[in-house]
């Protein structure tokens, strides 16, 4: 049972159908045609390439944000007057 839950959640996270279409190689499945059209509608391969090229910058920014949050939370917890709940309240978490 848990295998199927993991399997279907992976398929869903990849935006894939839960059931594979078997057309015996005669034609392209309709779901693939629809997905290809969606990609064309948003700008095609150029748009996808731009998204891919933006990833390193976004990764760096996310790391900076996480490092800042880590430093702030560490400073808050190092203050002996602060409890975990007061630190969470300070940052509206």
Residue 80, pLDDT score: 65
Q: Does 36 map to a domain?
A: yes
Q: Does 17 map to a domain?
A: no
Q: Give backbone dihedrals phi and psi of 42, rounded to 5 degrees, phi first.
A: -95, 5
69 vs 18: CA distance, rounded Å: 38
85 vs 93: CA distance, rounded Å: 9
- Helices 30-41 and 44-78, interaxial angle, to 10°? 80
Structure tokens at 88: 């969470």
- In this prediction, residues 10-20 reach a mean pLDDT of 68
Q: Read off the DSSP letter of residue 91.
A: T
Q: What confidence tens digit (pLDDT) does each residue in 28-60 have?
A: 778 788 889 999 999 999 999 999 999 999 999
Q: Does 8 map to a domain?
A: no
Does pLDDT of 1 surpass 70? no
Domain tally, the chain: 1
| Residue 25 neighbours by CB distance under 10 Å | 6
């Amino acid at each position: 049972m848990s295998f199927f839950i993991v399997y279907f959640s992976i398929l869903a996270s990849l935006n894939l159908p839960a059931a594979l279409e078997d057309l015996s190689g005669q034609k392209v499945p309709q779901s693939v045609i629809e997905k290809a059209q969606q990609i064309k509608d948003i700008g095609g391969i150029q748009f996808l390439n731009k998204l891919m090229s933006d990833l390193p910058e976004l990764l760096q920014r996310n790391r900076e944000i996480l490092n800042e949050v880590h430093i702030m939370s560490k400073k808050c917890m190092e203050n002996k007057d602060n409890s975990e709940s007061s630190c969470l309240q300070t940052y509206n978490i």
